[in-house]
Amino acid sequence: MKTALVILAAGKGTRMNSDLPKVLHPLAGAPLLIHAMQAGASLAPEHTVVVAGHGAASVRKAAQAHDETALVAEQTDQFGTAHAAGQAAPLLKDFDGTVIVLFGDTPFVQPETLETMIAAQATHDVVVLGFEAADPGRYGRLVVEGETLERIVEFKDADAAERAITLCNSGVIACRSELLFDLIDAVDNKNAAEEYYLTDIVGIARSQGLSATVVTCDESETLGINSRTELAAAEAAFQARARAAAFEDGVTLPAPDTVHFAFDTVIGRDTVIEPNVVFGPGVTVESGATIRAFSHLEGCHVARGAVVGPYARLRPGAELSENVRVGNFVEIKNAQIGEGTKVNHLSYIGDATLGAQTNVGAGTITCNYDGVLKHRTEIGDNAFIGSNTMLVAPVSIGDRAMTGSGSVITSDVDADALAIARAPQVEKPGMATKLFDILKAKKAKLQRGS
């Protein structure tokens, strides 16, 4: 069945007390909006329409950075959810299929739930996602008779009997495209808030003899984010789920509460993640690797058997082959590290390619930036880079070559060669004592003057 997504993302989010549009606040390393887009992406939609309002340019940029095919409709004036969803109509005028309406500030709706809604829509005209609320509060109530959803009543408009209902509305709706927009056109704003409620389409559909039903999910899937407190609670919920999933996948987490995952982190089984490790977006760690304490990884790939850290930083473009060792206070950026190579101490390797079984000594730096352009360093197999070597890119070190400790390498080094590039040591007898005497006298003079 053909599907399209309409994601409502126009709200300002006043309770966030922020200049940033609410749907762009980050959760697990990605804007809230991206979580909604990812959930819907499991349906392989033909179209994804994001309805933006406050900060529309920023919302458009984020949506299309995640999915360049995403369409953006702008809701200049905000008159309610039905009015917002209706802004997508011109962009879907040639679409014939099921539309799922999602919310950009509701990040936890699961793909399986949306698939259940699609299945139900095959036999019903309107499908609404509901949940049994532990505390119904101010949620809209779903009025059901048997399997039929008769109407949705907003809390402001509900009577005492309706407010006693615990089956609540998530706002997520599935409906055939043409029918959805016809029903939206029939919605009025004769309610306590004088807004055009998308939920009113259920009552309108029933009045026309059309069918409506409810698909239910766990309340946790429907968590909406309206404040920074709720954002923090959502982050905690996401991390708890991610840690539980890691355990199920065979990952060892000795101190799970200290490990922070991103929305797209992938960890293979028999991997050990030590305390206080942070994963930014775009990280894949293969089976049997070890990520030691206090390391930060983002936009990188770690192969089987590699060891990273402690206190290491892998930045975007870092590619570690099998059995690589990256040690304490080492930073790797946009660099490919060959199988079995070791970069164990206090080094920066950026814009580089290192071959297999190479050893990089402590304090090595690839000097990759000339103030305008970035340049690459190429190091072959079985090379030995002496401690405190400065590799001034662009530069190439051949297979089995060696650099002397403290060298500043500005020219290519041939295979099997030893390169030493440092000033000769000069010794001046007695000069240390004389220099200290001069400095002490200067210090005493300064103290007398003060």
Instruction: Look at residue 450 in the predicted model and tell me its pLDDT.
Output: 62
pLDDT above 90 for 297:
yes
Residue 294 in domain:
yes
Please tell me whether residues 354 and 253 are part of one structural domain. Answer: yes
Instruction: Look at residue 195 in the predicted model and tell me its pLDDT.
Output: 86
Least confident segment among 10-19, 170-179, 259-268, 339-348: 10-19
Last residue of a domain, one of 174, 193, 222: 222
Tens digit of pLDDT for each residue in 313-359? 999 999 999 999 999 999 999 999 999 999 999 999 999 999 999 99
Instruction: Look at residue 76 in the predicted model and tell me its pLDDT.
Output: 84
CA distances from 53 to 16, 21, 81, 157 (A): 16, 9, 12, 26
Please tell me whether residues 8 and 127 are part of one structural domain. Answer: yes
Tens digit of pLDDT for each residue in 6-49? 999 998 778 888 989 999 999 999 999 999 999 999 899 999 99
Contacts with 367 (C-beta within 8 Å, 6 or more apart), sequence order = 390, 391, 392, 393
Residue 448 in domain:
no
Please tell me whether residues 177 and 299 are part of one structural domain. Answer: no
Residue 395 in domain:
yes
pTM of the prediction? 0.87
Please tell me whether residues 268 and 147 are part of one structural domain. Answer: no
Domain count within the chain: 2
Last residue of a domain, one of 222, 256, 287: 222
Mean pLDDT of 292-306: 98
Please tell me whether residues 272 and 258 are part of one structural domain. Answer: yes
User: Sign of the C-alpha dihedral, residues 150, 154, 157, 161?
Assistant: positive
Q: Known catalytic residues? A: 345
Please tell me whether residues 203 and 262 are part of one structural domain. Answer: no
Last residue of a domain, one of 167, 190, 222: 222
Domain encompassing residue 47: 3-222
Please tell me whether residues 129 and 236 are part of one structural domain. Answer: no
Looking at the chain, the whole-number percentage of residues with pLDDT higher than 70 is 100
Please tell me whether residues 197 and 322 are part of one structural domain. Answer: no
Please tell me whether residues 218 and 70 are part of one structural domain. Answer: yes
Amino acid at 363: G
Instruction: Look at residue 389 in the predicted model and tell me its pLDDT.
Output: 97
Quick check: 342 and 325 in contact, CB under 8 A?
yes
Mean pLDDT of the chain: 94
Burial 147-167 (b: 16+ CB within 10 A, else e): eebebbbbbeebeeebeebeb
Tens digit of pLDDT for each residue in 39-71? 999 899 999 999 999 899 999 999 999 999 999
Give me the CATH number covering residue 175: 3.90.550.10
Please tell me whether residues 206 and 248 are part of one structural domain. Answer: no
Instruction: Look at residue 362 in the predicted model and tell me its pLDDT.
Output: 97
pLDDT band (50, 70, 90) for residue 157: confident
Please tell me whether residues 199 and 345 are part of one structural domain. Answer: no
Please tell me whether residues 270 and 349 are part of one structural domain. Answer: yes
Mean pLDDT of 198-210: 92
Residue 130 in domain:
yes
Structure tokens at 359: 């050893």
Residue 183 in domain:
yes
Give me the CATH number covering residue 306: 2.160.10.10
Mean pLDDT of 224-243: 95
pLDDT above 90 for 154:
no
Cis peptide preceding 111, ω within 30 of 0: no
